Amino acid sequence: MQHKTNLIIRGGVLLLWLLCGTLVPTMVESAIGVNWGTISSHRLKPTTVVDLLRQNKISKVKLFEADSDVLRALMGSGIQVMVGIPNEMLPFLSSSPAASDLWVRQNVSAYVGRGGADIRYVAVGNEPFLSSYNGQYQNLIMPAILNMQQSLVKANLAGYIKLVVPCNADAYQSSALPSQGAFRPELTQIMNQLVQFLNSNGSPFVVNIYPFLSLYNNGDFPQEYAFFEGTTHAVQDGSNVYTNAFDGNYDTLVAALTKLGYGQMPIVIGEIGWPSDGAIDANITAAKVFNQGLINHIASNKGTPLRPNAPPMDVYLFSLLDEGAKSTLPGNFERHWGIFSFDGQAKYPLNLLLGNKELKNARNVEYLPSRWCVANPSGDLNNVVNHMRLACSVADCTTLNYGGSCNEIGEKGNISYAFNSYYQLQMQDSRSCNFDGLGMVTFLDPSVGDCQFSCRRYR
């Protein structure tokens, strides 16, 4: 279903709009989509991923950049696409209409049309107002978005493709109560301009909300409040009661938009999810409970206290696949957000309420033989530190760290895990398991409990 809440105006809604001059959102059924990131050391073929999306009846996907192979694979799939422009491109797009025209020609016009990719949104930047950027992109957004709009007009695409700016939840703040939400003072002017643009062009406000990060970054944050199962730490805000962090955060944004005069603006959740590894509260059980709770909560159409019976237009889960080459600067969990592992295998049962009761795995993935690289029991492991450091500087060893699923497998287990991660990344090249005689190839799976030693790198 195409969501154009700002453009579809019928009956009494039209009357209200004419009388009040403020758009009242129509009732729409929220759609569940996914973020498809590609920062992986061993990517699945894009055609395999598109097949995975279609198998699971996922009809909306959000991309972080205009990857030509990915866009080609999406052509003719019927999947609606939000394609992203990285922040690094904002200086060029904001200063040069010609650069904007070129970007639209190369990354949008080249793929749309009959039998093409169904691009519905272009995301101009990604969380450009993050406080950690210290205003680096703040003054580039409006010039870039205005140039992009003119480029879409020239390409006769402006009536169909909408521009959005995914914002992190730190763009707004509240002392404690959602009703007191407001955009950060230094963003008030730019947010006024942005929201006016979005409203006049029929675009939603896109926000990324992460209850996991609230829990991870705050030792006093009540754990149960991050989920949807009820809490003994409910937030009382006047007559409104908040029992989960998502509703509280969402309504803080609603309050901030209301203060700008756009309290009814449609909202899309651009990113939300829970990692399955790499931190104390990041595990398979928590990820399943959060994501299923979120999906059920959205599907209930209850909305939030400030927007009863009006859930977000769309919700994009973060994310589709694990990305083993992402930066771990935010935390080791950063490589483990996927509802599927890097090879398209479901991590846990999850009902997306899209027609399948559980996730379906990727098909036709060709794997290398079942063999692993482990520490040689007869080797002198006293000099192994440099080899481990080398292996983990290239391969993903984040599960070995505190809170990870492989954190308690002992010294030899740690060595074996590091050696094997490197070995699999090198496509099981026998030379990559040497480590000066400290490694050896085995055909016996060394996995221990929840700590899984990868062996299924695909061809």
The answer to whether 375 touches 384, Cβ cutoff 8 Å, is: yes
Which residues are CB-contacts of 356 (< 8 A; sequence separation ≥ 6)? 55, 56, 57
Q: Which token pair is 444?
A: 């016996």
Q: Would you call 271 a catalytic residue per the annotation?
A: yes
Three-point CA angle 172, 178, 180, nearest 5° = 70
Which of 88, 229, 271, 358 is catalytic? The answer is 271
- Closest listed residue to residue 367, CA positions, set 387, 344, 389: 344
- Closest listed residue to residue 246, CA positions, set 180, 308, 178: 178
Helix axes 97-104, 141-154, angle to 10 degrees: 60
Q: Report how far residue 6's alpha carbon sits from residue 195's, in angstroms, rounded to the nearest whole number.
A: 13
Instruction: Look up tokens 């705050």; give the residue.
Output: 218
Q: How many CA atoms lie within 13 A of 430 on its CB side?
A: 1
Q: Would you call 127 a catalytic residue per the annotation?
A: yes
Instruction: Look up tokens 């407001």; give the residue.
Output: 182
End-to-end Cα distance, the chain? 37
φ, ψ for residue 399 (rounded to 5)? -70, -15
The answer to whether 79 touches 54, Cβ cutoff 8 Å, is: yes
Which of 65, 127, 323, 334 is catalytic? The answer is 127
Residue 24 is classified by DSSP as P
Q: How many CA atoms lie within 13 A of 412 on its CB side?
A: 13
Indicate which residues carry an active-site annotation. Answer: 127, 271
